[in-house]
């Protein structure tokens, strides 16, 4: 066991936790990076690192080891219509992303944090006592660590969040995703909306993404609202979706690797991101895009932001971190969480929208704004029709969702949503 007293204990060594530990260690803090797994380890993920995440990695002075460049995205509707969403450089992010397996990304980020001076602790955390100084992190059968601040980066089913009373289970927007690898060269990433029954959309979407070494990532994700019992729909539906990709001419008879699934929390709803001596980052804080499931850029951003807030002053870290979440994430997450919640149980409406958006005329007209808004790239986009369209969509969404249940919950937990008229 390492020394038991630290400035900060980071629980979870995924992208959010490793980014936090890296920034803290570089800033001179004594930081423990705790994870129950032995690295490298696998995670259920589409393995795409978006443009904003690419910029964040550059800001941290990190260069990915052997990623595959990824640009434009193809969206396929239930009837086979296709929309091409162009990747364009913004003022604050590049016009491309990367594809890299989570196994490699997480191993590499964690190693960067350890090389910066973070202390490795391999143990399972079974509880956290916060609200006093110091906070105590209990390790399963291995004693405890104490620290001024604890960062919960332990995923969507966060033990830190649960034991510190920062979760409202009845308000969380859950999703479940399952993926497999296929020996296939894929030119452009594909998102496909799928109707298992005519006119009734699957409550989520599937994907086929390129990957390094000629192995594509194929998967299916579903939104289930507050009822996690429905999560198995993605696992049961994966074979049917792969057959759908075959029907579209995107897959052949290639053998698939083992399946791997995982839970996600979306839209920040149902989890208070900061308490007395505790900050939640990444998936633990529900920092996942409710429209398309991206979480890596949000993980990197919130991990680094939490670390900087602590370095600026542990006593005010919760206030500083919450202010960052409000200014950077709350507006988009709040309105899109409400949109997600409204659509996930309306399969006929989702099917109709998927068909309409992927017609040639509509996709050409809306594509530039769609690509920005859907991927949360409006803030920092280059001036032009796409940004104007996305900004208009954002304002309308914030207005239209102001009285929704997710928006009301977030307003009560984090304060009024920026840029939204208050009911």
CA distances to 48, 194, 219 from 209, rounded to whole Å, are 8, 16, 9
- % of the chain exceeding 70 in pLDDT: 98
3-state secondary structure (DSSP) of residue 123: coil
How high is the pLDDT of residue 88? 95
Residue 417: DSSP 8-state = P
CA 36 remoteness from chain centre: 21
How high is the pLDDT of residue 2? 56
Pick the more confident residue, 2 or 104: 104
Which residue is it, tokens 């370095």?
311
How high is the pLDDT of residue 59? 95
pLDDT at 416 over 90: no
How high is the pLDDT of residue 393? 96
Cα separation, 162 vs 176, whole angstroms: 19
Q: Span 245-269, mean pLDDT?
A: 93
Q: How confident is the model at residue 249 (pLDDT cuts 50, 70, 90)?
A: very high
Cα separation, 283 vs 295, whole angstroms: 7
C-beta separation of 412 from 268 below 8 A: no
How high is the pLDDT of residue 231? 86
For the ranges 54-63, 85-94, 140-149, the lowest mean pLDDT is seen at: 140-149
Which pair of tokens denotes residue 261? 């699934």
How high is the pLDDT of residue 16? 98
pLDDT at 271 over 70: yes
Which residue is it, tokens 């490793």?
18
Which pair of tokens denotes residue 420? 């939204």
| Residue-wise DSSP of 327-370 | IIIIHHHHHHHHHHHHHTT-HHHHHHHHHHHTSHHHHHHHHHHH
Cα separation, 283 vs 300, whole angstroms: 11
Q: Span 405-413, mean pLDDT?
A: 93
The candidate with the shortest Cα–Cα distance to 379, out of 281, 276, 301, is: 301
Q: How many helices (H) and strands (E) does the chain have?
A: 12, 18
Mean pLDDT over each residue of the chain, to the nearest integer: 94
pLDDT at 58 over 70: yes
pLDDT at 418 over 80: no
pLDDT at 227 over 90: no
Cα separation, 407 vs 396, whole angstroms: 14
Contact residues for 185 (Cβ-Cβ < 8 A; gap 6+): 210, 214, 216
Q: How confident is the model at residue 290 (pLDDT cuts 50, 70, 90)?
A: very high
pLDDT at 38 over 90: yes
CA distances to 27, 54, 180, 254 from 257, rounded to whole Å, are 41, 28, 6, 10
Q: How confident is the model at residue 47 (pLDDT cuts 50, 70, 90)?
A: very high
Which residue is it, tokens 């993926």?
179
Q: Span 85-111, mean pLDDT?
A: 96
Q: For residue range 119-156, what is the model confidence (pLDDT) as tens digits?
A: 999 999 999 999 878 999 999 877 899 999 999 999 99
| Residue-wise DSSP of 157-168 | T-HHHHHTT-B-
How high is the pLDDT of residue 422? 53
3-state secondary structure (DSSP) of residue 170: helix
pLDDT at 103 over 90: yes
How high is the pLDDT of residue 144? 94
Cα separation, 221 vs 230, whole angstroms: 12
């Amino acid at each position: 066991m390492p020394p038991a007293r630290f400035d900060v204990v980071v629980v979870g060594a995924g992208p959010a936790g490793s980014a936090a530990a890296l920034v803290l260690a570089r800033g001179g803090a004594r930081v423990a990076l705790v994870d129950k797994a032995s690295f490298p380890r696998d995670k259920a993920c589409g393995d795409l690192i978006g443009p904003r995440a690419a910029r964040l990695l550059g800001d941290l002075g990190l260069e990915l080891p052997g990623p595959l460049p990824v640009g434009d995205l193809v969206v396929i509707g239930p009837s086979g219509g296709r929309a091409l969403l162009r990747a364009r450089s913004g003022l604050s992010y590049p016009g491309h992303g990367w594809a890299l397996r989570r196994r490699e990304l997480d191993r590499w980020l964690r190693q960067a944090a350890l090389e910066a001076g973070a202390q490795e602790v391999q143990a399972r955390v079974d509880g956290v006592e916060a609200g006093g100084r110091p906070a105590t992190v209990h390790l399963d059968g291995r004693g405890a660590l104490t620290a001024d601040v604890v960062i919960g980066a332990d995923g969507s089913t966060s033990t830190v969040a649960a034991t510190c009373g920062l979760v409202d289970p009845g308000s969380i927007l859950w999703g479940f995703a399952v993926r497999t690898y296929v020996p296939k060269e894929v030119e452009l990433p594909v998102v496909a909306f799928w109707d298992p029954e005519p006119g009734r959309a699957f409550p989520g979407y599937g994907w086929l993404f390129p990957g390094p070494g000629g192995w594509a990532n194929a998967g299916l994700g579903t939104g289930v609202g507050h009822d996690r019992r429905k999560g198995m729909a993605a696992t049961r539906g994966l074979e049917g979706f792969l057959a759908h990709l075959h029907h579209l001419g995107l897959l052949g008879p290639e053998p698939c690797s083992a399946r791997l699934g995982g839970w996600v929390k979306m839209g920040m709803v149902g989890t208070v991101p900061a308490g007395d001596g505790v900050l939640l980052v990444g998936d633990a804080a529900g920092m996942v895009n409710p429209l398309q499931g991206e979480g890596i850029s949000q993980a990197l951003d919130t991990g680094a932001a939490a670390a900087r807030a602590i370095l600026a002053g542990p006593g005010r870290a919760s206030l500083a971190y919450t202010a960052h979440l409000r200014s950077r994430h709350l507006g988009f997450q709040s309105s899109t969480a409400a949109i997600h919640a409204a659509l996930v149980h309306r399969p006929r409406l989702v099917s109709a929208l998927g068909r309409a958006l992927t017609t040639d005329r509509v996709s050409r007209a809306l594509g530039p704004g769609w690509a920005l808004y859907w991927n949360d790239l409006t803030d920092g986009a280059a001036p032009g029709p796409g940004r104007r369209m996305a900004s208009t969509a954002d304002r309308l969404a914030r207005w239209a969702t102001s009285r929704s249940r997710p928006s009301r919950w977030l307003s009560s937990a984090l304060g009024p949503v920026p840029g939204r008229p208050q009911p």
